């Protein structure tokens, strides 16, 4: 079965997850780099597939790390067992989990201390991936219906919304105390409360329920993108973290401001459903 690539959301900001057992795969890793490797070493930032190996005779819960289709190592055993349920569920739903990956290599000729002549070269490789906690790898709700575009991730913004009734956020509370969700951003008009004038601000919604509005100053940094997509008859979506419980909670928006969007943005619109409802199904199991 051919799998559709799915970039795990995660909450890791750098490649801090160790990958082990690189040595048996040095030839595959070496093939990712130019020849010869510079004396100072070389590194590569790319994407890696995380591939469960249920038929691995040593450990059916092992997770291989593949770059350009080649195995470059494995997640450590204990980590693999933690991530196996969610990664296997994604694969079962036809999705191939992908994460950022950093590879570093060095190659040198060993010193000829004993006059043994040419002993070939020594090669060393190190691999790491960016991988969040298992419960923060996928959103807990489905993407918005119709055409939409997800803004690239940006720095976190706490969404003002103290007036939100707990029942609105209740479906997003998790035992772990946090989750990712698809949010949508909408341009709405509100009274400025001073001169009886109206102004446009950005309203954040979860499953079409309003959870708060950005300040006019912050709204101005997102409105150009929201208006642009609206002109294309598409919704603006973004990553949203929900943290807390019925007694205290917060909604945090992670989206790039309009002036930070790449020149190629948007590089295509997505139409729901982009995949089967894996996220809803898996998250529901975790909440039980």
Summarised one tens digit per residue, pLDDT across range 168-181 is 999 999 999 999 99
d(CA 71, CA 91): 17
pLDDT for res 268 = 64
User: E strand or H helix at 43, and its extent?
Assistant: strand 42-53
Q: Which domains does the chain have, with CATH numbers?
A: 4-111+121-129 (3.30.70), 148-254 (no CATH)
d(CA 29, CA 162): 51
pLDDT for res 126 = 95
**Does the pLDDT of residue 99 top 80, yes or no?**
yes
Residue pair 68/142 in contact by the 8 Å Cβ criterion: no
What region does 154 belong to: left with phi over 0, alpha with psi -120 to 50, or beta?
Answer: beta
pLDDT for res 118 = 55
Decide which of 24 and 272 is more confident.
24
Structure tokens given for 91:
């694969």
**Does the pLDDT of residue 205 top 60, yes or no?**
yes
d(CA 98, CA 1): 17
Closest by CA position to 106, among listed 45, 24, 36, 16: 36
Closest by CA position to 44, among listed 63, 27, 31: 31
With 0.85 as the threshold, say if the pTM is over it: no
> How many Cα neighbours within 13 Å face the side chain of 87?
26
Task: Give Cβ neighbours of residue 228 (< 8 Å, ≥ 6 apart).
Answer: none
The proportion of the chain whose per-residue pLDDT surpasses 70, expressed as a percent, equals 86
Q: Tens digits of per-residue pLDDT, 30-89?
A: 999 988 898 899 999 999 999 999 999 999 999 999 999 999 999 999 999 999 999 999
């Amino acid at each position: 079965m051919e799998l559709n690539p799915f970039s795990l959301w995660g909450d890791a900001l750098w490649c801090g997850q160790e990958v082990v057992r690189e040595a048996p795969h040095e030839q595959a890793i070496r093939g990712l780099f130019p020849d010869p490797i510079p004396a100072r070493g070389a590194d590569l930032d790319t994407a890696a597939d995380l591939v469960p190996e249920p038929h691995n005779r040593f450990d059916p819960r092992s997770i291989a790390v593949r770059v350009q289709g080649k195995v470059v190592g494995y997640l450590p055993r204990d980590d693999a067992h933690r991530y196996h349920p969610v990664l296997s569920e994604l694969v079962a739903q036809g999705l191939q989990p992908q994460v950022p990956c950093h590879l570093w290599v060095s190659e040198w000729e060993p010193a000829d201390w004993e006059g043994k002549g040419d002993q070939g070269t020594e090669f060393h490789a190190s691999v790491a991936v960016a991988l969040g906690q298992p419960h923060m790898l996928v959103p807990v709700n489905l993407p918005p219906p119709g055409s939409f575009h997800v803004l690239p991730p940006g720095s976190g913004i706490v969404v003002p919304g103290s007036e939100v009734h707990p029942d609105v956020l209740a479906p997003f509370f998790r035992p772990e105390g946090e989750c990712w969700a698809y949010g949508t951003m909408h341009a709405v008009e509100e009274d400025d409360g001073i001169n009886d004038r109206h102004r446009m601000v950005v309203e954040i919604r979860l499953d079409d329920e309003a959870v708060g509005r950005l300040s006019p100053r912050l709204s101005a940094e997102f409105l150009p993108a929201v208006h642009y997509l609206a002109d294309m008859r598409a919704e603006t979506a973004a990553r949203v973290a929900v943290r807390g419980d019925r007694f205290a909670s917060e909604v945090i928006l992670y989206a790039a401001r309009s002036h930070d969007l790449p020149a190629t943005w948007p590089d295509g619109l997505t139409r729901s459903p982009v995949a089967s409802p894996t996220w809803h199904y898996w998250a529901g199991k975790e909440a039980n």
